[in-house]
Homo-oligomer: A and B are copies of this chain.
């Protein structure tokens, strides 16, 4: 009895976490990408974001509007995008996670290509505890 109830609760908690992760993923990815572009080229333009995200520029424009309402980016019409303080925090956190996960996968023995692709999907679902365990593994190996 007890077991059934607690297993349902745990299961649904896991699904809820996954859904919550998904709703933040895109914002994280955009911030991370914008930071990369600013770093590489000095500015982040819609076209470049669209190219790297693999979506149309209309989609990028719509998403950026949402992100700016959420206080993550700042932009003036027809101009490049910038990150707010909050946006930078997300970008940096994302970069850190991404690096750990990617290096971890490499250390586990997968190809560079696979590490890059898989880490993109995985990074958003790794809890602090798991991230720490991955970092520990890297430090040891």
> Within 8 Å CB of A116, what residues of B?
10, 14
Within the complex, the shortest CB–CB distance from A75 to chain B, in Å, comes to 21
> Within 8 Å CB of A43, what residues of B?
none
Which of A29, A117, A137 counts the most chain B CB atoms within 10 A?
A: A117
Query: Number of A residues whose C-beta is below 8 Å from B?
Result: 43
Q: A11-54 CB contact bits vs B (8 Å, 1 = yes)? A: 11111111001100100010001000000000000000001111
**Is the CB–CB distance between A29 and B15 below 8 Å?**
yes
> Within 8 Å CB of A136, what residues of B?
109
| A to B CB contacts below 8 Å, 17 in the list | A8-B52, A10-B116, A10-B117, A12-B53, A13-B54, A14-B121, A15-B52, A15-B53, A18-B25, A18-B121, A22-B22, A105-B133, A108-B130, A108-B134, A110-B129, A110-B133, A118-B127
